[in-house]
Amino acid sequence: MTQQELDLNRVTLGMPVIDAAGTEVGAVDLIRPGDPNAVTVQPPDHHPSPALDHLEEAIDTAEPAVPADLAARLLRAGFLRVATGPGPHPAVYVQADQIAAVGADGVRLRVLAAQLPTQD
């Protein structure tokens, strides 16, 4: 298991996220482990069956909500979505290798909040 996988496994929903400058970014609201085989993010083809439509709505295919090339990198590495509050970009994404430490005080990052991609 890599250090990034170990770090992601220690993160829990609601944990505060603190950037490299010590500023609180927000709280973790989604944790996705990495998938080295992830290549792209594409919603499933639309099916005429109402039952399948309901199933598609239940599956969160919109995460991460970033451009496809960045989404593929996040999916391969693993990521956190961090709720930052109301506004035009209510969340940011933290790639697993941007985590410096996970402890009782929350998730500490190697980067500044301004360097994190925002939710589209």
Query: Which sign, positive or negative, has the C-alpha torsion 50, 52, 58, 61?
Result: negative
Query: What residue spans of the chain are helical by DSSP H?
Result: 3-10, 50-58, 68-77
**Residues in the chain with pLDDT values less than 50:** 41, 43-60
pLDDT, residue 39, reads: 62
- Contacts (Cβ under 8 Å, ≥6 apart) of 96: 4, 5, 7, 8, 34, 77, 78, 79, 80
pLDDT in tens, 34-69: 988 876 545 444 444 444 444 333 334 578 999 999
Q: Strand runs (DSSP E) across 15-110, as ranges?
A: 16-18, 24-33, 78-83, 91-95, 99-103, 106-109
Q: How far is CA 84 from CA 4, 15, 48, 72, in A?
A: 22, 12, 37, 22
Q: Give the domains, in start order, of the chain with CATH numbers.
A: 3-115 (2.30.30.240)
Instruction: Specify the pTM.
Output: 0.79
pLDDT, residue 60, reads: 46
Contact 42, 59 (CB under 8 A): no
